Amino acid sequence: MTPKEKKFTGILVGATVLCAGGLYFVAGKGASRYDAAKEQFDALSAEINSMQNMTLFPSQQNLQAKQKALSDFKTEAEQLAAKLQAKRPKSLNNTDPQTFTNTLVKTAEVAMKTYAAAGLTTDDSNKALPKGFYLGFEDYVSTPAQGAATGILSYELAAISEVHALLAAAKPKKLLNFYREKLVEEKGETYTPVAGSSSRKLSFEISFSGPESCIRDFINGLQSSKDHFFAIRTMRVHNEKQEAPKASDVQFEDKSSKSKEGSAAGGIFDSADSFVLPEDSKPAGAAPAAPAPAAPKAETGRILQQVLGKEDVQAFFRIDLLLPDAPAAASK
């Protein structure tokens, strides 16, 4: 082999080695890119599969179901808004401050008479009604209200008067407390509707004591109001007697005293002829013995009340009077 041939062979071998190395490097890079693309494809496929298994996957069927649900919700919301608007007064016209004070005094007198008819008065030592009670508007008995606030105050006064009439009809034992939150108009400010709310909240708190049936009747009365919409925000009820009744609290009747009373009245053991054994015989023609009086039934209800307790309950309510906002004017 000549030197030229050796030189050419060396160059060819070197070029071949370089090409083989380049091909190996390119193949390795391609394999790594393939592996990365394969992993990304598998991850996306798994994510798509999980999305397809979801309830609200954006398919045509789910879209139609969502549109139907939104349509039903809109219809129900419009119906509720119509019912609320029916309980909104046509106008909240302001009146003369003295006129509002006169209305307040008359309304409070009616409420006191209603409570008195239900048995609640301020004459007894227990004071079933708060002294100087004017339905939460005590400040305006001696001080006139601001003229710009008399309209909304008159509306609230009518609603609170209804609340007390409902409570009086429920027959409580005591009206413990009543508190009304002041409105911004009473401070000379202007009410600004809350964003995202369709009604205004006029809040007050009331607490009373009485039997459990009183609470049920009061709640039913609030929910059945035809002129106002009341929402119970907070409710707390607890027994007046916090400790459970003990067995020693039960007082059973004295049987010996009852037997003595029965003997004095003519019991079955007051004579020898009143109790006859089978082998004994009576004289012929003797009058039949009078039937023994029926034994009185035991007053188990009174005993159970002593064991289980019959104490009254105390109830606290925080209530919102909802005044629907005026409907928006229809756009042209």
- What is the set of domains in the chain, with CATH numbers? 97-244+311-324 (3.30.70.60)
Per-residue pLDDT, averaged over 38-49, amounts to: 86
pLDDT recorded at residue 30? 66
* CA–CA gap between residue 164 and residue 156 (Å, rounded): 12
Q: Is the pLDDT of residue 225 over 70?
A: yes
CB 175 within 8 A of CB 128: yes
User: Helix, strand, or coil here: 322?
Assistant: strand
197: which residues sit within 8 A by CB, 6+ positions away? 325
Nearest to 228 by CA among 316, 132, 157, 321: 321
* CA–CA gap between residue 37 and residue 30 (Å, rounded): 10
pLDDT recorded at residue 122? 73
Nearest to 320 by CA among 240, 228, 238: 228
Overall pTM > 0.85? no
Per-residue pLDDT, averaged over 35-44, amounts to: 86
Q: How confident is the model over 125-135, as pLDDT tens digits?
A: 667 888 778 99
Q: Is the pLDDT of residue 266 over 80?
A: no
